[in-house]
Amino acid sequence: MAITRTIVAQNIVLATNNLNTSMFGQYWFVDKKIFRPEEFLQDGIFVPGFTQVSSADCQITIVPNQIQMSIKEDDQSKANECVKERFTKMVEAIGALPIIAIGLNYIWKVTDNEQDNHQLTSYLFAENPTEIYSYFNKSDAMYGAYFSQNFDAETRLKLDIKPVHSIINGQREDYIIASFNYHRDIRQGNTMNQLLDQLKKWNNLRQNSNKVVCLLK
């Protein structure tokens, strides 16, 4: 087998309650020193109930029940710098708002150029078949898995692994998507301190997701 693993998406999500999105205009982001005026890309959207701002390194989307920053940088050090210079500053500015949870998410693409999804997922997940696997035993069957456990005292790791495919230039590509969610509920009181504490784990959690995805072999 020749398994390769590539990180394809990274984001941070804050779960909120009835957030007033109208406060997040371009001036707010500039005033809080999250973006400089020249850093805004032209795909920004500022309408009631929905705000979206983009720069070369990230995109921030805000709706009443969620704030999400998607990171465009694959390089780990640049991604970490983006978290510190963009999202950490944003959290410092909104720490008093009704935030109930934070999720740090890393999505990995796992491919094997010698096996299709049936062969690869059979090898990874169906070597010791139970009755459920004996039902899904046809040549077109594919398999996945869900795992969940505490990462530390505050963080719950949820890992969803599933086979997918895409068509590129008329050719089918089989691969596996491994989606890591590191979830932390935010207790009432000291919201900002809890959020900042979790953001400091960004590099460690990414490294952990890399370590775990390398167990797919």
Instruction: Output the DSSP codes for 141-157.
Output: ----EEEEEESSSS-EE
For 152-182, b/e burial (b = at least 16 CB within 10 A) is: eebbebbbebebeeeeeeeeeebbbbbbbbb
Sequence spans of domains, the chain: 3-213
In tens, the pLDDT along 2-27 reads 889 999 999 999 999 889 999 999 99
> Would you say the C-alpha torsion 19, 24, 30, 31 has a positive or negative sign?
negative
pLDDT tens digits, 104-124 = 999 999 998 888 888 888 888
pTM for the full predicted model: 0.93
Which amino acid is residue 127, in one-letter code? E
The whole-chain average pLDDT of the chain stands at 92
